[in-house]
Amino acid sequence: MDEIILKRKAYEQMLEWKNSHAPDYALFLKGARRTGKTTLAEELGKNEYKSFIKIDFQEVSDNIKDLFVNNLMDLDDFFMKIELAFQKKLYDRESLIILDEIQLFPEARQALRTLLKDKRYDYIETGSLAGITQKTKKKKILIPSEEVDMEIYPLDFEEFLWAIGDEITFPTMKKIYSSGNSFGPSLRSIMNKFRLYMCVGGMPQAVLKYVETKDLSQVDFVKRNIINLYRKDMKDQDDVNSNFVGNLFENIPSQLSKHDKRFVLSQVSSNARLNIYNTSICWLEDAMIANVARNVTEVSPALSLSLDDKKFKMYLGDTGLLIDLAFDDGGSFFDNEYYKAIMMDKLHVNEGMFIENLVAQCLRSNHHKIRYNSKSDPESKQIVREIDFLIREGMKVTAIEVKSTKRFTTKSLHDIKKSFNNRIGRQLVLYDGDVKQEDGIIYLPYFIASLL
């Protein structure tokens, strides 16, 4: 069987970097493990260059690492030794060097300050920001300013549809949405594909396994291996307390299953405090394993000006992985009947946590920072307003509520509009239904999150 290559939007952005910014700037592909960073870099090397060399700092010898520290005074000798070590010829202005998992050896990132001045070749770094900041400070590493950052997420909904051979649904969905019309008979078909995307997730290995087998139990095996890889990475890292990071990660499903979904540290550990756990929260965020939503106290288009760091929600970066983490009791793998029950909302669990996590994933894939608004009564301490997501659209703020049950109220949307009248633009409810508008609120199917 021929190798399946997933079509990724990031590839076009990488081409733009090659044509407009290389060799003056290196490209840093940041993202969680197994999101396809290395594959993207290698595809660019194969398709757009005469040759490329990948230096994987997870596997490379100490002799190669030493070149980046002690052999930069003579770049002719440096490149000759690289060619010999990897048995590949490098061509001036026609070759790419990939520095893979660069967070494991920040000295190579510092070496780019010298290598970029040489302008002989193009450079792509792949890795995670998790831990690299602490390592950089400890070793007093100088980071090159000549970097273009690109965040690599799991496949988004459109990329997932491409992978399963569907190039019709997403353009049709966009056309209907932009027209303001209802979806009518096509609603269920699109919703079913969106729920399939929720179950499979967007991790390339999981998507490929689904494309190859159409067997969700085999997809489940792949996803659990990725989760175990994350757990191993958390235990192996030594920049922050690995127990704290692991505790946060394992508690994401239980925290999301609550009604208000706010992450309460005391439920992780009775002794947990924000000042102790904050670096671990940042580690998960930098690793792009988790999407951390920050509370906004003052709603305005400049959403980051009034963040309340004491209140936050934590979503998993990939909803397919969240399903496995939520049901990971050390037992057998999920079979197709379990997934069918999840897709039909018949598993009798809080499906809302999966849907809300998927909306957060869609918004993050579209490069929105995850913000929400929560207001409590000062006397009773009870929450009186909870807006799931806030995004900026033009000069206004769009307030978004995600509703997974058939019976719900829109009290919070009316309240935020009353409180911040001219700053609020659209008020959206994402739900399991068709397009409609009532009392100034627009109701849209869940899958529209992928277009916001």
pLDDT tens for each residue of 104-162 = 999 999 999 999 999 999 999 999 877 566 566 566 667 778 999 999 999 999 999 99
- Give 408-438 pLDDT, tens digit per residue: 999 999 999 999 999 999 999 999 999 999 9
Structural domain of 270: 157-451
Domain harbouring 46, CATH code: 3.40.50.300
Do 120 and 173 lie in a common domain?
no
More confident residue, 375 or 161: 161
Which tens digit of pLDDT belongs to each residue from 13-70? 999 999 999 999 999 999 999 999 999 999 999 999 999 999 999 999 999 999 999 9
Average pLDDT over all residues of the chain: 92
Of 382, 363, 365, the C-alpha closest to 374 is: 382
Residues 91 and 187 placed together within one structural domain of the fold: no
pLDDT at residue 335, as a whole number? 65
Q: Both 82 and 214 in a single domain? A: no
Question: Is 371 a residue whose pLDDT tops 60?
Answer: yes
Are both 194 and 311 inside the same structural domain? yes
pLDDT at 330: 58
Has residue 71 been placed in a domain? yes
Q: Which residues contact 166 (CB under 8 A, 6 or more apart)?
A: 193
Task: Please report whether residue 257 resides in a domain.
Answer: yes
Mean pLDDT of 201-222: 95
Same domain, 186 and 108: no
Task: Give pTM, 2 decimals.
Answer: 0.93
Query: Order of strands, edge to edge, in the sheet holding 26-30?
Result: 51-56, 95-100, 122-127, 26-30, 147-151
- Residue where a domain stops, chosen among 126, 151, 176: 151
**Is 81 or 345 the better-scoring residue by pLDDT?**
81
Question: How high is the pLDDT of residue 130?
Answer: 74
Q: What is the pLDDT of residue 83?
A: 98
- Look at the block and give the residue holding tokens 């998927």: 358
Query: Could you tell me if 368 and 235 lie in one domain?
Result: yes
pLDDT tier at 271, thresholds 50, 70, 90: confident
Domain membership flag for residue 270: yes
Q: Are residues 87 and 205 in the same domain?
A: no
Q: What gap in Å lies between CA 294 and CA 314, rounded to an integer?
A: 9
**Are 120 and 161 in a shared domain?**
no
Instruction: With respect to residue 430, please indicate whether it lies within any of the assigned structural domains.
Output: yes
Q: Is residue 5 part of a domain?
A: no
Answer yes or no: do 113 and 253 share one domain.
no
50 found inside a domain: yes
Q: Last residue of some domain: 129, 151, 173?
A: 151
C-alpha 125/C-alpha 398 separation (Å) is 35
Domain assignment present for 81:
yes
pLDDT at 276: 85
CA separation for the pair 449, 371 (Å, rounded): 15
270 pLDDT more than 90: no
The last residue of one of the domains, among 117, 151, 185, is: 151
| pLDDT confidence tier of residue 319, bands split at 50, 70 and 90 | very high
**Per-residue model confidence (pLDDT) at position 272:** 81
Residues 145, 173, single domain; the answer is: no
Any domain includes 80: yes
Does 199 lie in the same domain as 134?
Answer: no
Same domain as 163, residue 139: no
Residue 1 has pLDDT above 60, yes or no: no
Domain total of the chain: 2
Looking at residues 223-234, what average pLDDT do you find? 95
**404: pLDDT strictly greater than 90:** no
